[in-house]
Amino acid sequence: MDARTLKPVTTRQPDEPVSRQERKQRTRQALLDAALRLAKDRTFAGLSLREVAKEAGIVPTAFYRHFESMDDLGIALVERAMRSLRTMIREARQNPATYDDAIRASVHTLCSHVRANEAHFRFLTRERYGGTGPVQAAIATELRLFGSELAVDLGRFEGLAEWSAEDLRMMADLIVTAMLGIVMELVDIRTPEPNAEEEIAAKARKQLRLIVVGVAGWRST
């Protein structure tokens, strides 16, 4: 009758500072990770509360201790994924100087970040268009904001200083869309072909260069 209740998969370290809050946050994290793991080859909307809970190692009803619905979890996932994206862009912002350097460095950090946080980027690109409801709305908002920031950044380059805000925004959106397309190709690499990533990176550089070369000849209408 005792039958110790088995605890969620927290790997017991010999010295565990398991304050109660931390344990809660740990299973919350487990839920997020579980959802991300299951969303690898399915739409987020296709996940069920029950299986996410099971994958996280808790019983379905315990899910509600952390999120009030799957949509709620989805939004939390968006925030987490966008944090990945922002730390990436912060790193990419460091690079100075010429367009070509900026392009090469940006594509490099893009690829390495996608490789390191594949699940996050897969989630973002897939749910951006494919998503529905609150999740897609959250991504759309975040991505719009992201585009605005990029537009400001672009305005600092020579040749773009006197562009109108609208034109800068247009260019930023083009870049974001193109690079999200690249991200999608990166996370969808199926073949273990080793240079597939480098080919995609080369394509990304070319696309960015084509856009940037256009700046010289631009005149707004």
Q: List residues near DNA by CB under 7 A.
A: 2, 4-8, 18-21, 23-24, 27, 48-51, 57-66, 69-70
Question: CA–CA distance from 202 to each of 76, 99, 208 (Å)?
Answer: 33, 15, 10
Q: Which entry of a copy of itself, DNA, none binds 23, CB below 5 to 8 A by partner kind?
A: DNA
Q: Which is nearer to a copy of itself, 61 or 69 (CB)?
A: 69
Amino acid at 196: A
Considering only residues 45, 76, 105, 196, which one is a binding residue for a copy of itself as defined by CB under 8 A? 45
User: Cα–chain-centroid distance for residue 46?
Assistant: 19
| CB nearer to a copy of itself: pick between 92 and 178 | 178
Quote the tokens at residue 153.
């950044």
Nearer to DNA, 57 or 181 (CB): 57
Write out the two tokens for 35. 């959802």
Among 93, 160, 181, 196, binds a copy of itself (CB under 8 A): 181
Check residue 60 for interaction with a copy of itself (CB under 8 A). Answer: no
**Whether 48 contacts 60, CB under 8 Å:** no
| Closest alpha carbon to 122 in 180, 191, 173, 206 | 180
- Minimum CB distance to DNA smaller for 12 or for 156: 12
CA 168 distance to own-chain centroid: 23
Our finding on whether 217 is near a copy of itself (CB under 8 A) is yes
